[in-house]
Structure 1
Amino acid sequence: MRGHRPIFVKMIGILLFLLSSVVVLYTYFSQSSIEVIDAQITANNESRVSFLREQMESNMERLALTSGVLTQDSSIAKLQISILTGKDYDTLQYQTQVKEKLQLQSLSGNWRNEMSIYLPESGTRITTNPETPYDPELLSNSENGVWQLKKNGNGDPAYYQMLTWEPFLSKEHPEHANAVFEVRFDLNNLRQMLRNYKLDDPGDVYLVAEGTQWIDRTGKNVDPAVTADARAAIGAALQSEVDHPERTVGHLEVDIGGQSAFLSYARIAGLDAYLVDYVPLRVMHQPIIASRNLFYISLAFVVALGIAATYLLYMHVQKPISAIVRGLKKFEIGDYSFRIRKRFNNEFDYMMVRFNDMGEEIQHLIRDVYEERDRARLATLKQLQSQINPHFLYNCLSFVAGCAKIGQTETIRQMAFHLGSYYRYTTRVENQLPLLREEIDLVTHYLTIYCLRLERLDYEIDLDDSLLEEHVLRLILQPIVENAIVHGVEPVAGGGMICISGQRDGEDLVLSVEDSGRGMTEKEIAQYRERLNTPLNESGGCGLWNVNQRLLHRYGEGAGLTMAPSQRLSGLRVTVRWPSGSGGTAEQEMGNQLDKQDIEGGEHHAAIAVSG
């Protein structure tokens, strides 16, 4: 029978499979959503950073173009001539005109800025911010047409500045320069654009100039929230991009303080700076993670409810079913005394009561059946033992009468002794498992009686002394000997011989009875074997059938009679087999008790007869 799993285990397996599938699918979809969001945010941040960079470059370009516009203005040349010729009135007039034009150009830009014109030959400076003094060293330390980050007194970045010489190549020969145009803008312009860019979005945005100068949107030079680890991580990431100037826009993933962040950057070549926008991944993933965590919490709650429901199902369904199954298995192995004592306080209690009632009824029925079978078996055995052939006694008495007429008193004495010993043993039914020695003595008396009646008969008994102490069923050997004499020796003229031998065969005892009769053919032996195994019919059974049935009833399969041609004599060999050590005090006592149930109140005379 194939092993099977209980329904409860299958249900739990299905629920676990469904829960696992849901968790795996939801995790997969959640991870896919995070990847999609990462891709979208990355692309969006790159686009926004690029747009911000274009706005900054557009404003810077507009400021740079003012130098080109002013170089074409004739008022500057006239101012320089009036200064050299000493015409103070004209100088004042032209200075006012140039200053107004500088202010007009300054106001035309989107950024707050300062514009100045230096006249190196006369040492004159005209500016929109008169508070800044003229610094000759500024001209010599600045590059031509390049935006440079200038620092204030404490070393922090202050503003961007660009100087343009007119003519352009006169930087190398200051004595040939007509004028130097200066444009500068404050870093607050950049910070305002950074603030407008980021607003309340997560993360932060920075302008990293010259690789080390950090400009944030708060008005401070370095955001305190940006720790040394963050600056180191972002700086290292940007340093890898410096080696690839062709990459003007890109994104990186960096680790800041043990947390991953997306870094989008855009290179502003005019300022030699990188516009950096970073967003912590946890901020971007927070909605999905929160939704996922809520799902997991809900799932855990559902699992807890499932466990509670499973426990209730186990206690109120599975355990009662298991108890019934356990009881049925007990019934299967023949233990009908098993009862279910536990109560489950539900509908199964009724089933338990009815199950116990059913077990009790089955136990009673089986007990009754066993008792009836034992009675029937005992009756069968008694009936087999009680088949008496009166002709044997009649013949013996006739033989005694004949001997008395001719005066053979010694023969009469021997016949009376052996006949009395024979019937004394056959009429004692108290001991159903005598020793083999007693059965051999009975057979000896029987053979001696036949030898007196049939003078041509002789016999031989060859047994081990150890076999004589084995127990055997009563009257199990005498019918076989009688069958050998009546159907084997008597029909044949001349002398006859009966040989009885015995030996051990493994755990079995084997006795053989051979005769010198005419024997039987293989076909006749096969037919006789078939008769030995047929049920008892109305005509009664022969002595060998009785012996075989008694052995089968007593010892079961493996015990009984077998028939074959004799190897020593000319007749038939009948072999009796039964297990060694199968008798003794316990079994003998049980047999005696069974016998006494049927023979109380009188003595029961029994013998095994031969028919046919």
Structure 2
Amino acid sequence: MRYLRNPNIFLRVVFLLLIIIIPIYLLVFVIIHTSGIILHKEIAGSMESRINSYSELLDSEINHVAKLKTEYLYDEDLQMLSTVSITLTNYERLSALNRLSRKLQLFKDSSRIVENVQVYIPNIQKTIGIMSYSAPMSEEEMAMIREVNTDHSPKIISWHDQLIMALYDPPNSGARTNFYFKIELSPSLLIDSLMKITAKEDGRFYLMDKAGSWLLSNASASEQKSQHTIQAFLSNSSQSRISGFGNLNLDNDNYFGAYSSSNYSNTTLLVAVPDRQVFGLLHRYSQLFWILFAISIALVFAYSQRIYLLIHRPLQVMVRALRKVEDGDYNIYLRHSKQDEFQYVYGQFNMMVSRLRELIHEVYEQRIHTQQAELKQLQSQINPHFLYNTMFVLHRMAASYGLTDVTRFTDYLGKYFLFLTRTGSSEICLLDEWNHAIIYTEIQKIRFSDRIEVIWPELPDSFQTVRVPRMIIQPLLENAYKYALEKKLRKGILRVTAAAADDGCLRIHIEDNGEYLEEQTLQRLVSSLDEGAMNQETTGLVNVHRRLQLYFAAGAGLSFDRSEWNGLKITIQIPHREEKEHEHKHVPSVDCG
């Protein structure tokens, strides 16, 4: 906090950079560490789930083979050959053998892991294979089948480099065995099926029986020496849990392994993936984090030094110069050699100091100019009064000669100029402004005869005493006559409406049926209110809009739209406010009505 309160901006910038960077990196470190733990659990759970699925598929396939064998126990041809073959003729026996051989072919084709199926029938001393016959089964082979089927469950054993799924049909009442089923599984098909587990990770898998008598793996020949490590890992792990995961070392390399054991097929499946492949990216991210952290700290100090040269030192020069100006020394000129923002700031500072020197001399001249302006204003007030008095004499002369139209016209002109000569106040009652606008349209009616129809409503009583700036309606009417109605030879319409809105504001709408309002012109009028555009057509409109906003607030002013006759529609929005005593208490009041 002492550094943050230091008046030196440079030290505060350096300290703030460190305050910003260090918590961010601490947060990133926590995120990486937490992500590693979560990733480890997710990968372990995913691998364990996949291995369980493949283990269940293997059990399902073995169960399918066992069920097929059970169905074949009651095959008519097998029962006939194993029991009553002596009573069969040679043709019947041969036909039964051929049918049974074809059924064994179907047995093999119905499974994805069976390589060969054989049935030995002692009654006929023949071993029936797939579309073939062979010599009787040896005593050693029959003893193997009887030995592994004592609990009547399917088992996979290794016998003479073969994977045998031995299924035994026990004799009844101590009789001799009627037949022996021998199902040979294909190691290559099993390996191909299990390769799908490690297709993405490019790891190793191991399938073995719980006794460790056989093992299938996709490991290369050079990796076979690690199989005793696999057997030890599986033996220790599978005793406590049916499935799980852990770390193991194979060929001096760390692996992450997940396993699943099956009590049905008495097998265990293990998948081992190299640690560098599973968690290598996370380790690289951790290393990159510390490298980036060290680089960031170095960059902070390098950046701070650069800030000092580019910003802090020029700011110190500027501060010293401003203090001299504060003491009244205006003979200062700053120089900056680099082409950057400070060159502009120094240049503007030099211009400011030069301008201050000039303003000191101009103040005295301004007082003299003010006196001259007051004299000219007095002269400008005399001329309108003379014009009004002359118009009044002309009005009496026309009345004395009975010239009705001239009398009415001069009366309107007299009232018009009388309104203009009231220069004592910059604000008037809305009713006076309203009546002045009516007089202006009456003068224009005499000019345009019946070419233009003017529609005027009554001004709402609640807004008659509202004080407004002078000349806010007549310039808008003049704009409508000049740009919309002057060229119309007949059926011109100028409508003025006034109504109080729900928000308490008065909205005065001035609409015409001019045919010359293009969309581009309307958009230019709308944008002129925001941009303050000043040109021949919009100077008066923008002037009225600005005066309303200065007098009332930003909510007051003009808005433009299309009228129902496709001409221009101008809306004047005036807030309901009786007086502004706190701003105009010294201004002479003007009677309304």
The structure with the larger Rg is 1
Provide TM-score, normalisation by structure 2. 0.45
Q: TM-score, normalised by structure 1?
A: 0.44
